[in-house]
Amino acid sequence: MSEAFDAVDVISHKRDRHELSDDEIRWVIDAYTRGAVADEQMSALAMAVLLNGMTRREIATWTAAMIASGERMDFSGLSRPTADKHSTGGVGDKITLPLAPLVAVFDVAVPQLSGRGLGHTGGTLDKLESVPGWQASLSNESMLGQLEDVGAVICAAGSGLAPADKKLYALRDVTGTVEAIPLIASSIMSKKIAEGTGALVLDVKVGSGAFMKTRDDASELARTMVDLGTDAGVTTVALLTDMSTPLGLTAGNALEVRESVEVLEGGGPDDVVELTVRLAEEMLEAAGRGGQDVRAALTDGRAMDVWRRMISAQGGDPDATLPTAAETHVVMAPSSGTLTRLDAYAVGVAAWRLGAGRARKEDPVQAGAGVELHAKPGDTVREGEPLLTLHTDTPERFERALAALEGGVDVVDGGTAETADSVVIDRIAADSGR
């Protein structure tokens, strides 16, 4: 067939810092999905976008074109409004697990389409697959039925949502263009908009354990995604949250499920509880159900009831014993004093090397592997007391995990840690600077 544009011309326009027209963008996404634009040409265009950026109009059109490459889900037949949350990824970020059932308590359906971990960031599906019997894959019909009956579902996204993004993401991963903010934003939002949720809250991580290392970059990404959601008619808000230190006291799959259950039982680490409650409040407000006593639903058992029903509906046994690693290694505090730094990236890489994560999408993960924290920055520690416990089924992994932790822990005699009052750094909403 005769093509409407030439790929070289489109690449050259963006290389030379011109805006791409709507027709050029729609054509290049469609042609790449069809195979009429080659990988090397799309990688050149992605690099031009990384270097020269895109306008709000260009990003919106690019996102819409990726949505148009596949199907769109429709939740309008449900008896309750829908709200979803997306995290840009971090270490110990198990928030989705207690959050989805907590929001569902208040008659808001949560269609949480989640992914698997890659590299130092954990994946929600990997965590839940450590629950015996639990299944990540659901048909659209089963998903709708569970949303109506239980109110919450956490499952894998179907292959029909934004297939152009799946192809482009794989290309960006091997061409050094993952960090392009317009492409990150359109990748996330094309799937979330195609998913069909009525409200969306974005948890944009910033710090050493996040993809966005600086507040300026995180703010730009958050603003871009809020604009995309708003332009598409989805009520969207973003929170910037700290990822300089791991969330909670665990990084790993079954370890994080265990900690999530503690939160649903009314306990758990303060930072996990705080972020879960804050995100739930934002989701309920965006869905028109604001003003609820969210924290009470964690302490009185209502959120736990929904969790048990949600796990059971997907074949899991909420009463089953979670897997534990065959081997452990305790890391002792090197000296006495204040733990002033526990680097999220170092802990994330250590958990990955222990078997909790994967280097390639097809790699298996160990359910019991990971890192358990016995102290957080600001705590007083004593020399020789446990600081971290490493978990793995394959003890030959300990050496490389310990190497990842080198330089990631600071203990200072008489020192103080720069700990914030809240894990939430900022809030970005539509048509406002904040």
**What is the three-state SS of 406-419?**
CCCEEEECCCCCCC
**Residue 431 clears pLDDT 80, i.e. is over it:** no
Active site residue 191: yes
Active site residue 43: no
**Best CA proximity match to 165, nearest among 181, 185, 179:** 185
At residue 274 the predicted structure's pLDDT band, cuts being 50, 70 and 90, is very high
More confident residue, 357 or 417: 357
pLDDT given for residue 394 in this prediction: 96
Active site residue 165: yes
At residue 121 the predicted structure's pLDDT band, cuts being 50, 70 and 90, is confident
**Best CA proximity match to 282, nearest among 359, 336, 350, 202:** 202
What would be the CATH architecture of the domain defined by 7-68? Up-down Bundle (1.20)
Q: What is the CATH number of domain 327-412?
A: 3.90.1170.30
Choose the weakest-confidence range: 64-68, 175-179, 345-349: 175-179
Task: Please give the average per-residue pLDDT across 239-248, as a whole number.
Answer: 97
Rounded CA-CA distance 147/320 in Å is 24
How far, in Å, are 141, 192, 214, 270, 403 from residue 250 at the CA level? 35, 28, 24, 13, 19
**Residue 432 clears pLDDT 60, i.e. is over it:** no
Rounded CA-CA distance 87/205 in Å is 7
Q: Which of 116, 120, 172, 289 is catalytic?
A: 172
Q: What would the two tokens of residue 111 be?
A: 């269609």
Domain boundaries of the chain, sorted by first residue: 7-68, 83-158+176-319+425-429, 327-412
- pTM of this structure: 0.93
What angle, rounded to 10 degrees, do the helices at 56-68 and 215-231 form? 60
Task: Please give the average per-residue pLDDT across 378-404, as a whole number.
Answer: 97
Active site residue 16: no
How far, in Å, are 154, 284, 369 from residue 138 at the CA level? 9, 25, 26
By DSSP bridging, strand 370-373 and strand 386-392 are antiparallel
Q: Which of 86, 278, 308, 397 is catalytic?
A: 86
Sheet holding 250-252, edge to edge: 250-252, 370-373, 386-392, 327-332
Are 423 and 241 within 8 A, CB to CB?
A: yes
Are 96 and 154 within 8 A, CB to CB?
A: yes
pLDDT above 90 covers a percentage of the chain that reads: 84
pLDDT given for residue 433 in this prediction: 44
Q: Could you tell me which residues are beta bridge partners of residue 342?
A: 409
CA angle at 86 for the pair 84 and 87, rounded to the nearest 5°: 150
CA-only gyration radius of the chain, Å = 22
By DSSP bridging, strand 235-242 and strand 199-206 are parallel
pLDDT given for residue 211 in this prediction: 87
Q: What would the two tokens of residue 324 be?
A: 């534990």
Hey, CA dihedral for 305, 308, 312, 314, is it positive or negative? positive
- Please check whether the domain covering 83-158+176-319+425-429 is classified as CATH 3.40.1030.10: yes
Domains 7-68 and 83-158+176-319+425-429 share a fold: no
By DSSP bridging, strand 250-252 and strand 370-373 are antiparallel
Choose the weakest-confidence range: 15-19, 70-74, 359-363: 359-363
Are 348 and 370 within 8 A, CB to CB?
A: no
At residue 116 the predicted structure's pLDDT band, cuts being 50, 70 and 90, is confident
Q: Which of 84, 93, 165, 203 is catalytic?
A: 165
What's the chain's average pLDDT? Answer: 93
- pLDDT one-digit tens code per residue, 174-219: 888 888 999 999 999 999 999 999 999 999 999 999 989 999 999 9
Burial 131-169 (b: 16+ CB within 10 A, else e): bbebebebeeeebbebbeebbbbbbebbeebbebbbbbe
Active site residue 187: yes
Are 237 and 226 within 8 A, CB to CB?
A: yes
Burial 334-343 (b: 16+ CB within 10 A, else e): eeebbbbbbb
**Residue 386 clears pLDDT 90, i.e. is over it:** yes
pLDDT given for residue 160 in this prediction: 84
